[in-house]
Amino acid sequence: MAIVKEGTSSTREILARRRSSYPTFKAGIMAVVKFWILLAVTVLVATIITARNVPAVEALAVSSNRTELQRKWKDPLQEGKWHFKTPSRVLSRKKFQDVGEKTLEKSLILYTSFSKKLFQNPFSQKIIKEASSTTFITGMAQGKLPLSNYRNFLEQDAAYFEHVADVYRLAAIKMEIQKKKDYAYFYWKQSAKFFDLHKQFIQKKDLSEKGQVGTALKAYMDFLSNVSPEHLALAMLSCSVLYPELARIKVQNPEGNVYEKDFFQENRRDDESSTEKFVDEIIIKDITEPRALPIVWRGLKHELNLLREVGGQPALSIQQL
């Protein structure tokens, strides 16, 4: 029989007290385990969400780093609303909608503009390639084109500018009658621009007031005069896009080539023309790509035949391309 001193606990009492503390100890352990499980789940969910949002974050980063390439086009019918326009797939496009006094960002997507899609079409590219290989363009790039041919081209260009100014003026009047204010606004602006361009061009190049009109240019003018007013900017798109493409051709001996500065440098640009912006922001609402392509092709064909004619080559039909 064990002797237990007074004031001390027996072995059974000690064990009983320890067993009574087990529930509290177990509850503490479970709380710690639950905390770490919850933390692990939170980290996993955050990782998944972050991974899904990476493209959007990257798009925002690209957009903010390339803001110098962004272009604005103000829709005359949308007072106070701005559409941010971008020229290539690299940048992102933002559309905004007024909500009371605040502006709500509706979308942010990477895209190719409507006008660029029209010219990236294989048949469009085929016509552009034909234009770049004309005697007129290759002759200038090589510095071998007779100056008389180039003078003929400039005279016809002057006549073209004057005609386009008048075509835009008539189209603007028709659009006002139809109460299409966005079209009318743009067409009036283009008419004034081409009228001023014609005056400056004949003075700078020392050309005749009316210029010259060859067979190819006459057909081109008739096409522009008869195209539907709603589609005039589409018909003019070929001029806006084609010449910057032609100006990228490699020029031989640029320092000694008289055409380097007078033609190639004047037509080189990387930004979008006002016509491209209008097509991408306004006309895209009223026409589909399949319907727009034939209009663009006809415009390109007329530009091609003008270049062929001033270079002494016969005209081509659409069927011959």
Of 95, 92, 116, nearest in space to 106 by CA: 95
Q: Which amino acid, 11?
A: T
> What's the Cα-to-Cα distance from 99 to each of 102, 103, 109, rounded to whole Å?
5, 6, 21
What type of residue sits at position 14?
A: I
Structure tokens at 303: 């530009």
Q: Tell whether the model's pLDDT for residue 44 goes beyond 80.
A: no
Between 245 and 32, name the one with better pLDDT.
245
The DSSP annotation for 72-85 comes to EEE-TTSTT-EEEE
Cβ atoms within 10 Å, residue 68:
5
Mean pLDDT of the chain: 78
- The pTM of the full predicted model, rounded to 2 decimals, is 0.65
Sequential DSSP letters for 200-261: HHHHHHT--SS----HHHHHHHHHHHHS-GGGHHHHHHHHHHHHHHHTTSPPSSTTT-HHII
Instruction: Assign a CATH topology to domain 114-320.
Output: Heme Oxygenase; Chain A (1.20.910)
Give the per-residue pLDDT at 57: 42
Mean pLDDT calculated for residue range 259-274: 91
| pLDDT band at residue 320 under the 50/70/90 scheme | confident
CA distance 190 to 198: 12
Q: pLDDT by residue (tens digit) across 198-210? A: 899 889 888 887 7
Q: What is the pLDDT of residues 121-154, one digit of tens each?
A: 999 999 999 999 999 999 999 999 999 999 999 9
C-alpha 114/C-alpha 24 separation (Å) is 70
Residue 61 has pLDDT above 60, yes or no: no
Structure tokens at 255: 């320092």
Confidence of residue 169 (pLDDT cuts 50, 70, 90): very high
- Provide the residue count of the chain: 321
The larger pLDDT score, comparing residue 12 to residue 299, is at: 299
pLDDT for residue 48: 60
pLDDT at 310 over 70: yes
Write down the pLDDT at residue 205. Answer: 87
So where are the chain's domains? 114-320
**DSSP type of residue 69:** G
